[in-house]
Structure 1
Amino acid sequence: MSLSARIFLLYVAFMSIAGYVLVNSVLNEIKPAIRQTTEETLVDTANLLAEILREPLKTNRLSDVALTDIFSAYGQRTLVANIWGVDKTSTSHRIYVTDAAGQVVFDSADVAVGQDYSRWNDVYLTLRGQYGARSSTEVFNGEPSSVMYIGAPITDQGKIIGAVSVSKPNHTLEPFLEKARNRLILQSVLVIAIGLLLGLLFTWWLTRELRRLQQYALAVAQGQRPALPIGKVTSGELNELATALESMRVELEGKAYVERYVQTLAHEVKCPLTAIRAATELLQSPMTAEERQRFIDNIDSESLRMQQMLERLLDLAKIEQQQGLNTRKAVDVSELWQAIIEGQAARIVQAKLQLSNHLTDPLVVQGDPFLLRQAFTNLLDNALDFCPEGGVIELYAQAGPATVTLTLTNTGPQIPAFALARLTERFYSLARPITGKKSTGLGLNFVQEVAVLHAGALQVGNIDKGVAASIQISIH
């Protein structure tokens, strides 16, 4: 399982557990909170009625027609109220009054007058000067529902002469509970969904940053020279990690680079030095003028070979250390190729070669003109070296949406199968068919490095009756 999937699943698990615990806790608190609010309202109502009913209870006028009509009218009122989206059309309070002994002397529901309620907690505790409240189960429209009763003492000159109780069925609170529960669940789902989306975005961002570092490290491990992902990696800590990786790469690559070059240079210089030393020793012996000149020519030839090798190595070492192009400008490759061909005109005529340049229209790319000129010159030199007298060399281009591919073909011997995979290998070279000599083996390696710096590639392969070398260059 990928790191991003693990992070996201862990985040989903955390959000799910936290969301469930939070929502469940809040849901469990909604019903008690609403009932506590209702109870507080019933306390206020009961105490207000206790003050109103003091005189009627004291003077035994609770059964007066006027008072009975008031409570009867209250119970029959049609209400027009919309409370938080819930329509309320009728009252739900029941009010009854007891005397000091707990006998019901008034009941708005007219069902308990004359009954002894002295054992009910709302009456029992209230008549003793304590907070009186009880909850009982009753049936409403065939459905059982708990009913909350709150009592308040009716006093006269500091003496409790009775109690008034106000009740409210809990089923009347259910619409509000359901409304609050649904709203909470909806909001919780939205919050969790937003949290998961943010978690997904965070996971994507983090894994994108780590993936860039991973790609950079893999490219380094494969011997490439990737650009340091600073700027693309936005996290400060990850930027520091990228810088540390780059520093480590430079240090390790520098040591390996020097070691590799010393070894290869020592190996390649060994042969010409041996030839020069042998020729020098032979020159000390008696010989004819013709033989002496031949050994002097050998020394000159081997010295020139070492000089070319060192120059090519310096150019190659310089370009191999570049992470990107130091110079980038518009270059017309058609014009550049024309100048290179004109510079080799004498050699082309001398070898009786036919060179067809099909780059007739301007073809502009963004690149380093000096490096491109060196790379193109190397390709043409190779074609001239391997093209037999009277042969044909052709140059043409294929433009794509983002790249230009320049292909140079020449007739002549094809590349042996065993050499195809090694053509761009440093110091690897095939003998020229005309002279039988090998080059430094650094030309195609240099061309490949230039192509990579221009976000392209080099391909060399056999075609019918010859060889084709293609260099791909990014337009932008």
Structure 2
Amino acid sequence: MSRRTVVFVGILLVYALGVGVLMYRLLADIDPRYRESAEESLVETAHLLAAQVEQHSVDGTLDAEALRPVFRSLYARSFSARIFGFEKTGVELQALVIGRDGIVVFDSLGQREGEDFSQWRDVRGALAGEYRARTTPKIPGDELSSVMYVSAPVRSAGEIVGVVSVGKPVQSLNQFVAAARRKTMVVGATSVAAVLLLALILSLWLVRPFGLIADYARYVRSQRSFSLPRLGRRALGTLGAAYDEMRDALAGRHYVADYVQTLTHELKGPLSAIRGAAELIQEPGMPEADRQRFSANIGRETQRIQELVDRMMELAALEQRRRLPKVEPVALRPLLEELAASAEASGAARGLHIELAAGEATWVEGEAFLLRRAVGNLVANAIEFSPEGASVRIELAPRGRSVDIVVRDRGPGIPDYADQRVFEKFYSLARPGTNKRSTGLGLPFVKEIAELHHGRVTLRNHEGGGAVATLSLPMIEPPPA
């Protein structure tokens, strides 16, 4: 049995034990509470009958005969009372009138007259002016025949001359006690079942973090060094991935619809150009030079559509990844040196110069291919917006626990109206000199790569002119040689 299962079962056992103790206490407390309620009613009834006897007693002589017709009529009454699911059809109340010598002078049931009750605690207490109650089996040894008795003194001229003892069969209370216990058991069992169901549902969320912790423990064991910052980044990354999954599940259809709508809008331009050029080529008598020009337009717009579709598919695939399946230490200086050499060759025709300030060796954790694509996009943008003969500067700047890859050009910068839109999909600015626009997917592509590597990318104007793109990534310790 795994540790997470042991923890889960342990929680359930502790809960079951707690509920069991609580149910035991509640069930044990039901009977006394019902008896207390019944006893309180019997006390009032006993004093009521004692007051009635006192009205007919003269000179200290008890006279309970007035009670006989009352109880005879009472027991003969027929009625139906529905009390909490139980039907009551007759009176079970019993009454005894006992003289100061403890002898029963009146029994509502006519069974105990002449018997000596002086030793019963309720009678003895009432004769002494004290309150007592008792529960006595009517049939010795048979608890189901028990009767609860409460006594009240009968006074004449300030002296106690007798006792009225009122009784109630315990069996009449037991049916209510049994019903209350059944209801309590049902409520308890229902709550246990509900908590078990809730625990089963929550186990998907409770067990998963244990799995994540165990996975990270295995990850730490496989590393040569332990890094608390990386632990925090991975934890935040896990939360971010969960949020992204939730967003996709909720947004789903709208996300796809927006994508399709934007792509359709972007394709309208090149498709219109292709259709117009195709119609013009079909006109008779068109000069060959014009025909060649329109044919070139068709090829150029077709290439633009192909590039747009390819870049969109790359970006969509990147967005679906949400996390890198495999990461490794990546040295940034060799990567930038390679990109700078490639950019130098690309910008040679326009006389552009690439400046590289790589500094000391710096390492990040991620996928080298994607990082190369991200920085390559930033450098390509800088080259396209730079005037002829200008320079593009690539700088590697460590800043505490992160490192910035800074790419600066000497171009016109970012217009104010585009400052907040440069990372929007399909948004593109016209290139200086040619007025051509790109697919508008390069910077969103870089942004996705940055987020996959727990970093960020910014693009702003430089105080000295031109634009500065900054890709910030978490820095790690260099791996041992």
Which of these two proteins has the greater Rg computed from alpha carbons?
1
Which TM-score applies when normalising by structure 1? 0.49
